[in-house]
Amino acid sequence: MQIASWNVNSLNARLEHLRAWLGSRRPELVALQETKLEDHRFPDAEIAALGYRSLFAGQKTYNGVALLARTDAVPGFADVQVGIPGFEDGQKRVLAASVGELRIVNLYVVNGQAVGSDKYDYKLRFLDALHDWLAEEIRRYPRLVVLGDFNIAPDDRDVHDPVAWNETSILTSTAERAALRRLFELGLADSYRLRHDHGGAFSWWDYRAAGFRRDLGLRIDLVLLSGALAARCSGAAIDREPRGWERPSDHAPVLATLD
């Protein structure tokens, strides 16, 4: 089974990219972030025509998350949760559901803007609430997948320039990385690191300064697996190809394979 995550940075703008990618890759489960669509505008009929059922929670212009399940391979969605329970937040950033034996939690973590800003404080509060909720989820659902755009590069292997992206930079700051480590300590493993030790593999490149052409990237899109699933992880990859297409998302899809 292949499980994928992709921040599409506007599904309306990137629907044809998604259509082509799903047709080529055919992963069983897909998490999308930054769909930027209100629910009544979500293209569920178009996605159904590709052989996927959809679950989505969106809003106009910003944020938005969705889950896609291949209809010929996995069952429908159950026990749906939108948002982090008990955390007051009008932004559509979290969508969870059970799919067969798996519990899937799709995240679009707050960017944070700049260290010390109000949005940074919101990011840390979001991550604290996420930790407490996932501690309960992993007890209830031993086969847990937590994936999405985390907006945190786990360590210096995951940035093109650790001097520029340091402990005072957004996405790599000390507090952000500590919050991510707390998620790992719940028993969640970074699927990419289960299969690859090397640095220099990225999932996001800034549109500015020819970031992709120069490979000035960060790895901030992750697929985390509970212990029961980490033992079944036979592969992990970043598909750079869509980032090179015309008018791409600034993120590439990331995938984990479970035996």
The 10 Å CB-count burial string (b at 16+, else e) for 185-218 is: ebbbbbbbbbeeeeeebbbbbeeeeebbeeebbb
Q: How far apart are CA 201 and CA 146, in angstroms?
A: 20
Are 99 and 69 in contact, with CB atoms under 8 Å apart? Answer: yes
The Cα 79–Cα 182 span in angstroms is: 25
What phi and psi, each to the nearest 5 degrees, are found at residue 175?
A: -70, -40
| Separation of alpha carbons 89 and 36, rounded Å | 16
Annotated active-site residue 108? The verdict is yes
* 3 state SS of 34: coil
3-state SS assignment for residue 29: strand
Active site residue 122: no
Catalytic residue among 52, 141, 149, 250, which?
149
Name, in order, each residue with C-beta under 8 angstroms of 46's C-beta and a sequence gap of 6 or more: 15, 19
Phi and psi at 40, nearest 5°, equal: -70, -10
One-letter amino acid for residue 151 of the chain: N
Catalytic residue among 108, 120, 141, 192: 108
- Secondary structure letter of residue 86 according to DSSP: T
Token pair for 119: 């949005």
Catalytic residues: 108, 149
